[in-house]
């Protein structure tokens, strides 16, 4: 099946074409899952001047970008060829007539931003007379590792870390989740973003901190790691306060490189430690790392080392599939479509939404 997927939940306008020639119907998509194109237009430059995402500006930027991005995703001479993710060498000009379903992120996210993607998806599905499926953004992140590891089995544990979420999730099957740990306040990405702002490193903060931290001493400044003891939950609000105090106390003598390295260490080490402990407790053989913060090199390295020591299969998608993208939405949609599910024209957008098939704690 060939699926056009659309993602506009936050500040990236993205469209992808994915193809799943052989859905094997069991618990994996199958080794033939193929990302034909995955076009991402980032608004980071636009929001930088405000130091964070302005929802109204994000929605307007999606309105401008949505059709050019979709056109590029379905165009035979798409620029994503070659620089995108595993383009199909046999692509010979599949146009819109090849699309058999339209998938779109409809929750959770910025309502104005989501509405742009959903309206475009509805119009195209209506005009092309193909099924429409709404996808939960985090379900997309959770299934993104299948792009590189189609043999990934269920159940497995997933550390979901993005700008809005920090969750440890048991993925029992595609679309079936149980949350085993989560943040009690800020998300990990938010902690990176706030830390970067306090250090004057700008927006988006995660990548800025990672780059500023290169060569820095992660032990130079002592920063809190949140909740102590045996818990699978996280807390990052104390870290933000501690960084603010550090910046005030050290003033001009603050070493930005060491401060960035210390912040990265505080966030990455608590995430890695709790995820590995939860994986061990669950007895699952695989741990995945997904969401925008999964782009962080230090976090990837820590988890890779610990998992290899404990014989846990560690799976993390390439960076382009960690930050927001439509390919992951197409992957999640392939499971819903395979189950014969589709949504009606009344499909709506939601700012907040529990993971599908999950028992909230």
Task: List contacts with ligand KG4 (CB under 6 A).
Answer: 10, 162-164, 189, 192-193, 204-207, 210, 291-293, 295-296, 323-324
| Minimum distance of ligand KG4 from residue 192's CB (angstroms) | 4
8 binds Zn ion (CB under 5 A): no
Q: Taking the complex as a whole, how short is the minimal distance between the CB of residue 164 and ligand KG4, in angstroms?
A: 5
* Structural contact between residues 323 and 295, judged by C-beta atoms closer than 8 angstroms: yes
Q: Phi and psi for 230 in degrees, rounded to 5?
A: -80, 85
Among the candidate windows 59-67, 85-93, 156-164, 243-251, which touches Zn ion by CB under 5 A?
156-164
Classified as helix, coil or strand, 265 is: helix
Q: Which does 193 bind (CB under 5 to 8 A by kind): ligand KG4, Zn ion, none?
A: ligand KG4
Binds Zn ion (CB under 5 A): choice among 324, 328, 330, 334: 324
Q: How many CB atoms lie within 10 A of CB 237?
A: 16
Q: Is 13 in the site for Zn ion (CB under 5 A)?
A: no
Question: Which of 14/78 has CB closer to ligand KG4?
Answer: 14
CB-count exposure of residue 172 (10 Å: 0-12, 13-18, 19+): middle
Could you tell me the smallest distance in angstroms from the CB atom of residue 138 to ligand KG4?
Answer: 8
The distance of closest approach from Cβ of residue 187 to ligand KG4 in the complex, given in angstroms and rounded to an integer, is 7
Contact of 356 with 136, CB cutoff 8 Å: yes
Strand blocks (E) in the chain: 2-7, 12-19, 34-42, 101-107, 132-136, 156-161, 166-173, 176-182, 286-290, 313-315, 358-359
Q: State the minimum distance, in angstroms, from the CB of residue 10 to ligand KG4.
A: 5
Q: Rounded distance, CA 341 to CA 262, Å?
A: 46
Please, what is the minimum distance in Å from the beta carbon of residue 51 to ligand KG4? 12
**Position of tokens 């992120």?**
105
Contact status: 162 vs Zn ion (CB under 5 A): yes
Binds 189: which of Zn ion, ligand KG4, none (CB < 5-8 Å by kind) = ligand KG4
In whole angstroms, give the CA distance from residue 192 to residue 297.
13
Which entry of Zn ion, ligand KG4, none binds 334, CB below 5 to 8 A by partner kind?
none
What does the binding site for Zn ion look like in residue numbers (CB under 5 A)? 162, 324
């Amino acid at each position: 099946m060939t699926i056009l997927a659309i993602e506009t939940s936050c500040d990236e306008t993205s469209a992808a074409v994915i193809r799943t020639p052989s859905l094997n119907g069991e618990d994996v998509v199958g080794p033939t899952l193929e990302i034909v194109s995955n076009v991402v237009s980032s608004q980071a430059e636009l929001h930088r001047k405000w130091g964070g995402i302005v929802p109204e500006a994000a929605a307007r930027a999606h309105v401008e970008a949505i059709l050019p991005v979709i056109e590029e995703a379905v165009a035979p001479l798409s620029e994503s060829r070659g620089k995108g993710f595993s383009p199909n060498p046999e692509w010979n000009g599949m146009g819109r007539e090849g699309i058999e379903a339209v998938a779109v992120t409809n929750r959770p996210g910025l309502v104005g931003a989501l509405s742009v993607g959903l309206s475009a998806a509805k119009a195209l599905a209506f005009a092309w007379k193909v099924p429409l499926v709404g996808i939960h953004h985090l379900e997309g992140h959770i299934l993104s590792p299948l792009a590189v590891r189609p043999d990934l089995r269920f159940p497995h544990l997933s550390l979901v870390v993005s700008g809005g979420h920090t969750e440890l999730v048991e993925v029992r099957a595609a679309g079936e989740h149980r949350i085993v740990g989560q943040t009690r306040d800020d998300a990990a990405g938010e902690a990176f973003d706030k830390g970067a702002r306090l250090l004057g490193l700008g927006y988006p903060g995660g990548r800025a901190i990672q780059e500023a931290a290169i060569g820095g001493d992660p032990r130079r400044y002592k920063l809190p790691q949140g909740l102590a003891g045996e818990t699978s939950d996280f807390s990052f609000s104390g870290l933000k306060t501690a960084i603010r105090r550090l910046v005030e106390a050290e003033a001009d003598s603050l070493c930005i490189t060491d401060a960035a390295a210390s912040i990265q260490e505080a966030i990455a080490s608590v995430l890695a430690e709790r995820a590995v402990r939860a994986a061990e407790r669950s007895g699952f053989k695989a741990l995945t790392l997904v969401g925008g913060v999964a782009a962080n090199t230090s976090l990837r390295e820590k988890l890779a080392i610990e998992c290899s020591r404990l014989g846990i299969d560690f799976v993390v998608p390439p960076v382009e599939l960690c930050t927001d993208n439509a390919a992951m939405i197409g992957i999640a949609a392939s499971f819903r479509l395979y189950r014969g599910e589709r949504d009606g024209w009344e499909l709506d957008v939601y700012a907040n939404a529990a993971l599908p098939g999950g028992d909230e704690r």
